[in-house]
């Protein structure tokens, strides 16, 4: 994968340690595994970021950061991918996850005559179920896509090096 592109836009551990608002938590960011740009770290971050983006909770970025710290995945990437859910995408994403959850539970598609608090609380169950399922599925897809793209980039790099060597060897003969 293009490491230079990621390094250009992602903050460094030193920069995060210098942020005063983080207080004593700056030492948590000293683990180099949180900043590695490798297949394992980025694919795990993709899963964590997408999974947290589909969760209908406040402070999704904090949850993604805690999970990245726990599983030693790329911290900046996991936080950035949470931004998939933003004020422009909340309604379509969570409506979709609600529909998935309602379909799984076999709930009717009709609106009640009177919307009550009890009805609203009852609708949270399909929203959470659908969000959990979509987060797991789309997170797993993102995990697989990052792994696949990384592998393809490595193979392409190997081929380029092989072509370069072949050209050098034939010129020497």
- pLDDT one-digit tens code per residue, 39-88: 899 999 999 999 999 999 999 999 999 999 899 899 889 999 999 999 99
The reported pLDDT for the residue numbered 57 is 92
Residue 152: per-residue pLDDT: 93
* pLDDT of res. 2: 60
Residues shown for the chain: 173
Q: Are 131 and 97 in contact (CB under 8 A)?
A: yes
Dist. CA 66–CA 77, nearest whole Å: 13
Whether 79 contacts 115, CB under 8 Å: no
Q: What is the pLDDT of residue 118?
A: 86
Q: Tell me the C-alpha distance between 147 and 60, whole Å.
A: 24
Burial of 108 (0-12, 13-18, 19+ CB in 10 A): exposed
Q: Which positions of the chain have pLDDT values less than 70?
A: 1-7, 9-33, 164-173
Task: Say what the pLDDT of residue 10 is.
Answer: 66
The confidence score (pLDDT) of residue 80 equals 92
pLDDT of amino acid 161: 84
Residue 149's contacts (CB-CB under 8 Å, 6 or more residues apart) are 1
């Amino acid at each position: 994968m293009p490491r230079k592109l990621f390094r250009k836009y992602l903050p460094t551990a030193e920069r995060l340690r210098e942020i005063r608002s983080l207080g004593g938590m700056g030492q948590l960011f000293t683990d180099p595994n949180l900043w590695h740009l490798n297949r394992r770290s980025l694919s795990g971050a993709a899963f964590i970021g997408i999974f947290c983006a589909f969760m209908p909770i406040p402070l999704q970025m904090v949850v993604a950061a805690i999970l990245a710290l726990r599983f030693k995945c790329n911290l900046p990437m996991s936080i950035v991918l949470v931004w998939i859910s933003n004020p422009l995408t909340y309604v379509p994403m969570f409506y979709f996850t609600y529909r998935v959850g309602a379909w799984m539970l076999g709930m009717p598609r009709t609106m009640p005559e009177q919307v009550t608090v009890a009805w609203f609380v009852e609708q949270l169950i399909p929203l959470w179920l659908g969000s959990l399922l979509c987060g797991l599925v789309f997170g797993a897809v993102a995990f697989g896509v990052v792994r696949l793209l990384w592998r393809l980039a490595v193979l392409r790099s190997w081929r380029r090096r092989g072509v370069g060597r072949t050209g050098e060897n034939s010129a020497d003969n």
